[in-house]
Amino acid sequence: AQSVTQPDIHITVSEGASLELRCNYSYGATPYLFWYVQSPGQGLQLLLKYFSGDTLVQGIKGFEAEFKRSQSSFNLRKPSVHWSDAAEYFCAVGAGQAGTALIFGKGTTLSVSS
Amino acid sequence: DTEVTQTPKHLVMGMTNKKSLKCEQHMGHRAMYWYKQKAKKPPELMFVYSYEKLSINESVPSRFSPECPNSSLLNLHLHALQPEDSALYLCASSQVVGRISPDTEAFFGQGTRLTVV
């Protein structure tokens, strides 16, 4: 069965510092991977997705993620964090025929310190 | 228009009440989803509709009854809920059903915050 693991429950980063959020997946075939962000009490916004092809994926708000099949990882990165990036970040794998029945990791809470 | 609209935004209901959550999208998507999200937890898939037919039910209790009356609308009927059903209920929709494509993406609504008292 598909699953996603986000090892870090909570991360604090200084504003302007770089960020890496970890995600490991378990999936028998080529995974369809997503990163979503959620602000408190809000819905989910897609940051980026991996379907196939280039293993470095660019997303919105300056985020990127790298798919590494050998490590079963899809880590999210940002070179310089802004205070507005503080939120909950979810990695997800797409299940079902269309790959959009999402299975989420437990999430990583990002705090940004000034 | 890339919006998924959910109403109401907040709902408080008693354990004997019957209420409904509504979700609407006008993006021409033929797959729609209900997720449940408890506080400090990830969203959990409840139901998937494709072409207005229920395709996935993740063993959800019968007190939750989904309905997809047309391709733009998805309802979740609630009856005899328990306090532990209090959560954020998220609706999502996606374009492609039946195969993966580079356009595969699920769009989420802002959710309905449900409190059962």
Residues A54-97: pLDDT tens digits? 889 999 999 999 999 999 999 999 999 999 999 999 999 987 66
Residue A102 is predicted with a pLDDT of 87
- CB nearest B48 (choices: A42, A49, A101): A101
Residue B33 is predicted with a pLDDT of 94
Smallest CA–CA separation between B86 and chain A, in Å?
Answer: 14
* pLDDT tier at B1, thresholds 50, 70, 90: low
Burial readout A79-91 (b: 16 or more C-beta within 10 A, e: otherwise): eebeeebbbbbbb
Q: Are the C-beta atoms of residues A89 and A76 closer than 8 Å to each other?
A: yes
Tokens 């400090």 sit on residue: B40
Tokens 């794998």 sit on residue: A93
pLDDT tens column, B4-37? 999 999 999 999 999 999 999 999 998 999 999 9
* pLDDT tier at B105, thresholds 50, 70, 90: confident
- Per the CB < 8 Å rule, is B101 touching A44? no
- B111–A contact, CB cutoff 8 A: yes
- Token output for B51: 């072409």
- Per the CB < 8 Å rule, is B50 touching A41? no
* pLDDT tier at B101, thresholds 50, 70, 90: low
pLDDT tens column, A29-52? 778 899 999 998 788 999 999 987
- Per the CB < 8 Å rule, is B100 touching A94? yes
